[in-house]
């Protein structure tokens, strides 16, 4: 996170309290990143409001630029600007869609998480990060190269956020429920599954300096376990990642992040491995 030179902040004129901007100022205050404020709107003129914000932030010592833009829809607008400006992080306030609309249309925030080539921080709460718990969610059971790279990024960002918030990093991983039909007897009993997972966690804990008190291993699907642990810890931020599926769906985020976005009571940082980022950047360039 220290390497981020420019942050794209999605501004919502109808929500002028600006939760996204609060988080951006916290991060930029530590990383000295430039702030690029974006309003996604093709109708109204928000230049006066943006100019006032820009002057105020400059007066506080921030490097800042502003823009109003529109490309077909909100998520494409954000991604086009993120690529054009070379922003290493996108920060946006998440406003839940109503369930009926969500059942018919894929929410814009889900599309942003799927297609944005960079990390996205979805701000959900006004609660300050300072002194809070930061939760990093990993899949220790997957130790292939792609997952290992993603785990390194998730833990690194988790430590960075914990550092700037003067908080504590916790890690959670979910292991599968026992299946009597499993070919491997290890996966037929809860005790043997958990023992195997704990063993896999030992080298992970040693590599990333995670004590037993800060590691939470639970049985069940990740989209249930992660919000459960985040709630128990009263986490201020939850860091999650996604890896490529196969074929075209390599461009899509695994839907765990989408499903838990509304379930989590914390802010959510979503990361992707370099391979997916490169693929998504190609897709954006072809538009």
Can you give the pLDDT at residue 251?
A: 39
> Which regions of the chain carry the CATH code 3.40.50.12370?
133-286
Compute how many other C-beta atoms are within 10 angstroms of the C-beta atom of residue 56: 11
pLDDT higher than 50, residue 181: no
The CATH number fitting domain 133-286, selected from 1.10.357.10, 3.40.50.12370, 3.40.50.150, 3.40.50.300: 3.40.50.12370
| Strands ordered across the beta sheet of 120-123 | 64-69, 34-40, 6-11, 89-93, 120-123, 267-271, 237-241, 133-137, 168-175, 215-219
Instruction: Tell me which residue of 22, 37, 112 sits closest to 74, measured CA to CA.
Output: 112
- For the ranges 127-131, 191-195, 261-265, the lowest mean pLDDT is seen at 191-195
Cα first-last separation, the chain: 29
Tens digits of per-residue pLDDT, 100-141? 666 666 788 888 888 888 899 999 999 999 999 999 999 887
Helix (H) or strand (E) holding 100: helix 99-104
Q: Under a CB-based contact definition with an 8 Å cutoff, are residues 240 and 226 in contact?
A: yes
Q: Which CATH architecture describes the domain 6-93?
A: 3-Layer(aba) Sandwich (3.40)
> pTM of the full predicted structure?
0.88
- For the ranges 55-59, 155-159, 242-246, the lowest mean pLDDT is seen at 242-246
Place of tokens 């003067």: 166
Q: Under a CB-based contact definition with an 8 Å cutoff, are residues 235 and 168 in contact?
A: no
């Amino acid at each position: 996170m220290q390497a981020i030179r420019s942050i794209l902040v999605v501004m919502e004129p109808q929500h002028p309290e600006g939760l996204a901007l609060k988080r951006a100022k916290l991060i930029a205050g530590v990383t000295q990143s430039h702030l690029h404020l974006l309003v996604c709107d093709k109708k109204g003129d928000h230049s006066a409001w943006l100019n006032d914000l820009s002057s105020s932030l400059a007066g506080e010592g921030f490097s800042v630029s502003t823009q109003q833009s529109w490309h077909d829809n909100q998520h494409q607008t954000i991604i086009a600007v993120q690529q054009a400006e070379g922003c290493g992080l996108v920060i946006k306030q998440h406003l839940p869609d109503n369930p009926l609309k969500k059942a018919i249309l894929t929410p814009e925030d889900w599309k942003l998480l799927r297609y944005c080539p960079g990390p996205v921080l979805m701000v959900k709460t006004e609660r300050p990060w300072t002194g809070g718990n930061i939760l990093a969610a990993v899949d220790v059971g997957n130790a292939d190269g792609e997952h290992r790279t993603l785990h390194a990024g998730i833990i690194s960002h988790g430590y960075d956020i914990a550092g700037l918030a003067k908080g504590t990093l916790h890690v959670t991983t979910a292991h599968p429920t026992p299946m009597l039909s499993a070919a491997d007897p290890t996966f037929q009993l809860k005790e043997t599954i958990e023992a195997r997972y704990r063993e896999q966690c030992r080298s992970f804990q040693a590599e990333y300096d995670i004590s037993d008190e800060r590691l939470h291993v639970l049985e069940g699907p990740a989209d249930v376990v992660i919000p459960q642990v985040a709630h128990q810890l009263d986490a201020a931020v939850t860091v999650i990642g996604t890896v490529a599926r196969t074929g075209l769906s390599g461009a899509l985020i695994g839907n765990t992040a989408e499903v838990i976005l509304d379930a989590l009571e914390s802010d959510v940082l979503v990361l992707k491995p370099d391979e997916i980022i490169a693929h998504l950047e190609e897709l954006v360039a072809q538009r």
